[in-house]
Structure 1
Amino acid sequence: MATVVTAVESVLEARGIEKSYRRGVWPVARRQDVLRGVDLALRPGEVVGLVGENGSGKSTLMKILVGALRPDAGTVAVSGRLGYCPQEPVFYERLTCDEHFELFGRAYKMSAEDERRSRRNLYAALGFERYAGTRADQLSGGTLAKLNLGLALLGDPEVLLLDEPYAGFDWDTYLKFWDLVAGRRQAGRSVLIISHFVTDEGRFDRIVQLRDGRAGPR
């Protein structure tokens, strides 16, 4: 079980994270070690990429960092607010984009004025304000990805964790995404991005690779 404490020098710090799963059916079931003592730290204003092959444990580690999954061992330290953009968009089919923002704003305990201001800025930054009144079940995959990212950014978190955030983005939205990331770096916010592969290495401060259940420099 992870112990959540307050990080001092890092806004997020994971130490000795271990996670395994049992595969197969008894009596031939076997244990598969996915994470074998992962250490990872994220400093203020840092943009870090987390890469690895399919099945290397990237999404498992991300779920542990945000508290959605318990590790078998290790500690997670977080300082400040945490924003999370999962690989698969989380949405309510019958709610419009506006209604999603209102709902998440209440969950973040934002004032109505702050929520509306942040929502307007995110619509403009990602270019999907024309879908404000559209129900989620009527949105394209690319627009759902924008909504998914916008909800993670709504509360202006100090730490932003993104799992394959730009899957489904067109080129224009991809560039807008990196403008948002650059703005967060300038504001001293930190971003951790999971990706199967990294093409724009110059946009990252560091790239960490998961290999054989452990994290290290690429």
Structure 2
Amino acid sequence: MEGVTVMDALSQLTGSGGVVLAAHGIDKAYRRGSWPARRAVPVLAGVNFSMHKGEVVGLVGENGSGKSTLMKILVGALAPDAGEVERATRLGYCPQVPQLYERLTCDEHFELFGHAYGIAGRVERESRASIYAALGFERYARARVSQLSGGTTAKLNLGLALLADPEVLLLDEPYAGFDWDTYLRFWDLVADRRIAGRSVLIISHFVADEERFDRILDLRDGRAVPR
């Protein structure tokens, strides 16, 4: 493939069910301590993995293993010290800590994010209604975030990531705070996205229901290792 970039290859593959997201040799370290004893503590050390169209992938690691750091690098919110991420399509990101505005209602959040995504008003409203129904929190549409329970806040956080119907959905501890009914709704939603050819990456400190995943990777010693 001389003369063809990695991005060109990804673009060609994407059209035929190929790679939609790939990480190549991702390194990241954080500085700890005070000068002159300040030192670099490595978190990620050469992470490599790729995702294909219509795949559901789990990335599992202990607390402090670098899961959220890797997720932020994948979506472009944090720069790696070395390596690169290739994104062949639009991503949707559900962070572990919701980035919400306490004084805005759920409806107002969807409107705000829809405007940021450049979604037409009618399309945004239809998508919003579908998300409310899928996750079961229609009755909180006009409630402010400050009035929501932790579980409903998690639903809104996930819903905003789904709003633009991204081809790749990246979820950082998405079902923390979900009750059993919402947990089942979540997996129904993931299954629907797989059928539609969408890809989902779920990062968590544990995985139950392993059969729901196409692949599971363990983040150990700064690397992504197939289970």
The TM-score bracket by the shorter chain reads: over 0.9
Residues 1:156 and 2:168 are matched in the alignment: no
Q: How does 1:30-179 map to 2 (within 5 A)?
A: 30-179=39-188
Equivalent position SS for 1:27 = coil
Residue pair 1:53, 1:196 contacting (<8 A) in 2 also: yes
- Aligned match of 2:3: none
Matches of 2:89 and 2:124 in 1, distance apart?
18
Aligned length: 215
Per-residue deviation, 1:31? 1.1
Residue pair 1:101, 1:119 contacting (<8 A) in 2 also: yes
2:37 to 22, 28, 35: 28
- Matched AA of 2:220: R
- Matched AA of 1:186: I
Equivalent position SS for 1:165 = coil
Which residues of structure 2 form unaligned runs of 5+? 1-5, 14-18
Which residues of structure 1 form unaligned runs of 5+? none
Cα-to-partner distance string for 1:161-199 (whole Å, 9 max, x where unaligned): 000000000000000000000000000000000010111
Equivalent position SS for 1:50 = strand
- Matched AA of 1:108: Y
Matches of 1:149 and 1:5 in 2, distance apart?
28
Superposition CA RMSD, Å: 1.1
Equivalent position SS for 2:111 = helix
- Aligned match of 1:205: 214
Matches of 1:60 and 1:139 in 2, distance apart?
27
Residue pair 1:19, 1:36 contacting (<8 A) in 2 also: yes
Equivalent position SS for 2:225 = strand
Matches of 2:49 and 2:96 in 1, distance apart?
20
Moved over 3 A (4+): none
Per-residue deviation, 1:217? 0.6
Cα-to-partner distance string for 1:27-75 (whole Å, 9 max, x where unaligned): 1111111111100101000000000111111100000000000000111
Percent of aligned positions that are identical: 73
Matches of 1:150 and 1:53 in 2, distance apart?
26
